[in-house]
Structure 1
């Protein structure tokens, strides 16, 4: 099916954006509670909500939660109040995650709940091949949107590396071998749908901020461990983008031995020791087993092989030091450790926590380190979450 026209959000003021954001991220929520948390009058909340209800984006009627239970709210003594919640199927969103070996895509509703997931292998990293496969995957996902789905508002694309989100340009992605690729413009031309392109870890951080563990946190960081080591930051009420579009590059702190060359071309980056590829390469080298794959290295380490254990211990030491450096600098209350590499978390957790404790300064050591398992679908969901955030805020390419 062809995507239906993008429905306009009736948000004329910053207060309206704030109110809808609260409903999306903290709902179901009563009007009086929105007013309290947002520092608005109840009259301002009512004025902002009325057109959203009329346009079919929000409801104050009883709704069914994903668990199947009817949602009600009660404040203190008295009758239950009618909480506000978004109408999940009022819009649809597509999120796409680009990896060196595959594309992962999901469709979500307005609350970033995954409806459909698809995966497509990549035969090579050429821009032409990847863009065509992205187009094919997006078209396939559009075809899954049924009559009960809302109109498609946009497509999010998450890519590792230095991404200019404002202009939809991948400036430098070492894993993909891309430089200055205008993914947003090229995909928009092919699909005729607004496209938001962002760094993959930042997309995951947006998802956690709006729909995950960061909803009620004052500050947090998401650290991803896998083929690379990434970091997204939520500080002072916003996901940090950086003045030049680069921030949180934990994997490229120079904390590893200087003779090790990173995929970015620099020496001594955290990724040269702590990424899954680095751990595997070290294990192959020290065991004399060039045939090993990562699962084999993990099995050896769990079996007590000293050389395999050393590779994971070394990774844990560097990750812990990097976490301490980040926490010392920006002071988040929580660090979420995620990514495909967390499957091996137990192999380097102790050394990582010891290194973190040794280098965290003063009360920074009280920062909580939390494991959160993620799949590639979650990365794609993060790309969809960035579309939802841009749509609500009226940012590129959804200016009001």
Structure 2
């Protein structure tokens, strides 16, 4: 390209300021007193953190019951000015690239979809660059700059280095995606695992708001899990925390693409279900839509494949709850289209696996289209911009 946008330095030079901004972003409007309580900071530290954010226009005084309070007093609630900055989020699937333009509050302003016909990194970067050019043109109409881009990819992603270590759906190993995308677009780029990026968005803006400990479990082409522990999204020392899809729950089970046997993903992913139905019914089932139709028509073998998938997912959720004790588990992903076929098995297997009061964990569903996954990538970019990193 490169981008002609001026990328600013966010005026939160300390962890305290970053913490305050993140709290206002996800839970605001909040008074300074409430901010001190929620962040554990002193009132003086909160006031010191808020001042430069207000001076730079990232935080503004909020109306209280429709009446504008006098500016600057501690009792006045403050909120994030979503229009102060823009971000781009990109979700890469095996056959499509979805790109969104969001504001600072991660509200989608524009969305673009394009088919992905080749998986070579150069082809993917070329498509991302083309979509970015379109969104940067759209951004001109908002009068503020794009401050960063997030790219979400399935698989083993090292966010700190911006490297995709392994993505089975793209066939990638050790691709320096952040470096390549930055060179092509001129924007700062954050690359993250797609489920982890979605979890950031859910923590700040979705089903996890207000939860200090929760998990997002995604079902579909793969089985993923994002974890929030003590208010922070967990990436682990090697960037692969939460990979419940590769829990081996059946030593005699099918071979997984990771090389192990009996993984949850080898039993419950879309492709695994299709394979099982083809084997058990002898029918050349073409895709998930046909598999769903067969199962709902009570075709022998088809419902059993979904039931087996539900049991595997429920056992995996039980393992997560036993290990981490979250207050909520959110199930999402394109695989929810079949939820009626395996919901009972998920519930029963979870109840059987959960230890003691862990069974009280709330398990809920939240269907999210791929635009929301791209929004998650934008949330990861916002996270980088404001200096609120994962653990």
For the superposition of Structure 1 and Structure 2, which TM-score range results when normalised by the shorter chain? Answer: over 0.9
Q: Compared with structure 1, are the counterparts of its residues 259 and 73 closer, same or farther at alpha carbon in structure 2 (3 Å cutoff)?
A: farther
Q: Compared with structure 1, are the counterparts of its residues 27 and 197 closer, same or farther at alpha carbon in structure 2 (3 Å cutoff)?
A: same
1:391 & 1:377 partners in 2: Cα distance?
21
2:119 & 2:259 partners in 1: Cα distance?
18
Q: Compared with structure 1, are the counterparts of its residues 300 and 166 closer, same or farther at alpha carbon in structure 2 (3 Å cutoff)?
A: same
Unaligned 5+ residue runs, structure 2?
A: none
State the Cα deviation string for residues 5-63 of structure 1 (Å, max 9, x = none).
11222223332222111111111112221122223333332222122111111110439
1:346 & 1:142 partners in 2: Cα distance?
41
2:366 & 2:284 partners in 1: Cα distance?
31
Q: Compared with structure 1, are the counterparts of its residues 40 and 291 closer, same or farther at alpha carbon in structure 2 (3 Å cutoff)?
A: closer
Number of residues paired by the alignment? 385
Unaligned 5+ residue runs, structure 1?
A: 64-69, 75-79
CA RMSD in angstroms, aligned pairs only? 2.1
Whether 1:253 and 2:254 are equivalent positions in the alignment is no
CA contact (8 A) 2:62 2:68 kept: no
Give the superposition deviation at 1:139.
1.5
Query: How is 1:378-397 mapped onto 2 (pairs within 5 angstroms)?
Result: 378-393=372-387
CA contact (8 A) 1:204 1:379 kept: yes
Whether 1:94 and 2:91 are equivalent positions in the alignment is no
Q: Compared with structure 1, are the counterparts of its residues 73 and 293 closer, same or farther at alpha carbon in structure 2 (3 Å cutoff)?
A: farther
Q: Which of 331, 335, 340 is the matching residue for 1:341?
A: 335
Q: Which of 103, 120, 132 is the matching residue for 2:114?
A: 120
Residue in 1 aligned with 2:168?
A: 174
1:3 & 1:309 partners in 2: Cα distance?
54
CA contact (8 A) 2:125 2:184 kept: no
Give the superposition deviation at 1:394.
6.6
Give the superposition deviation at 1:266.
2.7
Q: Which has the higher contact order (CA 8 A, sep 6+)?
A: 2
Give the superposition deviation at 1:251.
0.5
Q: Which of 129, 132, 149 is the matching residue for 1:135?
A: 129
Give the superposition deviation at 1:259.
4.9
1:255 & 1:357 partners in 2: Cα distance?
16
CA contact (8 A) 2:220 2:270 kept: yes
CA contact (8 A) 2:150 2:381 kept: yes
- Normalised by the length of structure 1, the TM-score is 0.91
2:251 & 2:310 partners in 1: Cα distance?
14
Residue in 1 aligned with 2:232?
A: 238
State the Cα deviation string for residues 345-399 of structure 1 (Å, max 9, x = none).
1110001111111111111111111100110011100000011111111769xxx
